[in-house]
């Protein structure tokens, strides 16, 4: 694979992309389901770490606003009608559980887009999306943006730092999920 891709040339091309157009791509594609992780690495290449974090956080705010607008608007009715023909229903998150759910869901593996729409369809407020989910998503984005930033000068130390960061993130995620899982798992009624 490495022989097919000239990474220096790819980095040079990414750095030459118009910043405004890149932000539009970063802000729109994940709403439509494109993997945000790929775009986070590219943002690191394009802008470096700190500017990449700022641009990505701004785009994530657009994603959450868009998911809230689509999910609480024209998507909710068709999804409800579709589910009414099955044994499933849209979950309704209680107000006191929104913050915990808004913290946990971004930590879970899976599609960023699907998680956002499911939270909105479940009734998670825009305030929770922006004040709780956004910082968690931004923290999770750091490794991809950092990877993009260092692609031009990757060293064994930086690779170790990335691996250690991912291990810490996984350990924290597992701990948080175990800590709060009891709030969302219903015990069977007999």
Q: What is the pLDDT of residues 81-136, one digit of tens each?
A: 888 888 877 777 887 788 888 988 898 888 999 999 989 988 899 999 999 999 99
pLDDT at 124: 93
pLDDT value, residue 182: 67
Work out the widest C-alpha separation in the chain, in whole angstroms: 63
Task: Give the integer Cα–Cα distance in Å for 161 and 136.
Answer: 20
Place 171 in a pLDDT band, splitting at 50, 70 and 90: confident
| pLDDT at position 154 | 67
- Tell me, what's the pLDDT at 84? 83
Confidence at residue 183, expressed as pLDDT on a 0 to 100 scale = 62
Determine what percent of the chain is predicted with pLDDT higher than 70: 90
> Residues 181-186: what's their mean pLDDT?
61
d(CA 25, CA 55): 12
Q: How many CB atoms lie within 10 A of CB 26?
A: 24
pLDDT for 3: 56
- pLDDT value for 138: 96
Across 160-173, average pLDDT? 80
Helix residue ranges per DSSP H, the chain: 7-16, 19-28, 36-47, 49-72, 76-84, 98-104, 112-121, 126-128, 134-150, 156-180
Residue entry with tokens 């009734």: 123
pTM for the structure as a whole: 0.81
Residue 190 scores a pLDDT above 60: no
Give the number of residues written for the chain: 190
pLDDT at site 10: 79
Inter-residue contact 71 to 117 (CB < 8 Å):
yes
Other Cβ atoms closer than 10 A to 79: 14
For residue 129, the model assigns a pLDDT of 96
pLDDT band at 1, cuts 50/70/90?
very low
At 19, list the tokens: 């910043």
pLDDT in tens, 44-71: 999 999 999 999 999 999 999 999 999 8
């Amino acid at each position: 694979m490495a022989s097919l891709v000239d990474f220096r040339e790819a980095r040079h091309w990414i750095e030459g992309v118009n910043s405004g157009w890149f932000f539009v791509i970063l802000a729109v594609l994940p709403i439509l389901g494109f993997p945000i992780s790929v775009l986070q690495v590219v943002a690191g290449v394009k802008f470096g770490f700190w500017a990449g974090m700022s641009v990505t956080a701004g785009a994530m705010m657009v994603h959450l606003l868009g998911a809230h607008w689509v999910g609480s608007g024209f998507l909710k009715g068709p999804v409800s009608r579709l589910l009414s023909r099955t044994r499933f229903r849209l979950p309704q998150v209680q107000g006191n559980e929104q913050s915990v759910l808004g913290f946990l869901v971004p930590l879970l593996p899976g599609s960023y887009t699907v998680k956002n729409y499911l939270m909105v369809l479940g009734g998670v407020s825009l305030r929770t999306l922006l004040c709780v989910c956004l910082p968690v998503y931004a923290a999770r984005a750091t490794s991809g943006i950092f990877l993009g930033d260092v692609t031009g000068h990757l060293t064994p130390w930086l690779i170790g730092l990335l691996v250690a960061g991912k291990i810490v993130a996984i350990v924290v995620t597992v701990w948080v999920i175990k800590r709060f899982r009891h709030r969302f798992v219903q015990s069977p009624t007999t």
